[in-house]
Amino acid sequence: MVNSVTTRKGEVVQNPKIITKLLNHPLASLIWLPVRVWLGWQWLEAGLHKLENPAWMQTGVALKGFWTNAVSIPASGTPAIHYAWYRALLQMLLNAQAYTWFAKLVSVGEFLVGIALILGIFTGFSAFMGGFMNWNYMMAGSASVNPMYFALSVGLVLAWKVSGYLGADYFLVPRLAGLWRHEKEKVSPIPAGIPTRAKAR
């Protein structure tokens, strides 16, 4: 089975150095830090607003209204939802009155994503969950800030190793990486006095 893409000469296709550094180098965390904290703050504010609103945390009528507007098909013009299967999904949730508990899930989820991004806790996963919520908002016909939030979330997910480096992930990622590491790389100590680039004869 082919494990890598190669050129016609048999050379492995490498990622551009700037992309590799942006997604893997610890210094790149200085770039991702303001992105992560700013995006986290947006989610935190949105979550707090919903947590303090009875229409989200008690009755769920706020989400019911959003879903109702999303599934409605106007007499003229383009409906908010382009895909019929997604409209059917929201209609099913409306008929089951799932908004009564789903609104609470959305509110708490936005709040937790905001906290996790600001503190750099499992940044890649947190950004993925935030991006998933943005995707659902866009699928329901709500553009607003969601495309930009989604794009930033994708960047944080791709740079998951360093996007939370200046945060709790500094401690969490090394421990987490050990869960899927099959073989531990053993580094042989180099005897004193032998140049590091010396070749064995």
- Comparing 62 with 11, the larger pLDDT belongs to 62
**pLDDT score at 189:** 56
Residue 156, domain member (yes or no): yes
Residue 180, domain member (yes or no): no
pTM: 0.84
Residue 197, domain member (yes or no): no
Residue 187, domain member (yes or no): no
Residue 195, domain member (yes or no): no
Residue 131, domain member (yes or no): yes
CA dist 86 to 60, 126, 131, 139, Å? 20, 24, 17, 7
Residue 9, domain member (yes or no): no
Q: How far apart are CA 44 and CA 104, in angstroms?
A: 15
Q: To the nearest whole number, what is the mean pLDDT of the chain?
A: 89
**pLDDT score at 55:** 97
Domain that holds residue 110: 42-173
Contact 154, 131 (CB under 8 A): yes
Count of positions (residues) in the chain: 201
Tally of domains within the chain: 1
Judge whether residue 53 has pLDDT over 80.
yes
Judge whether residue 191 has pLDDT over 70.
no
Q: Which of 67-76, 107-116, 171-180, 185-194 bottoms out in mean pLDDT, i.e. has the lowest?
A: 185-194
Closest CA to 157 of 115, 123, 118: 123
Residue 1, domain member (yes or no): no
**Beta pairing partners, 6:** 12
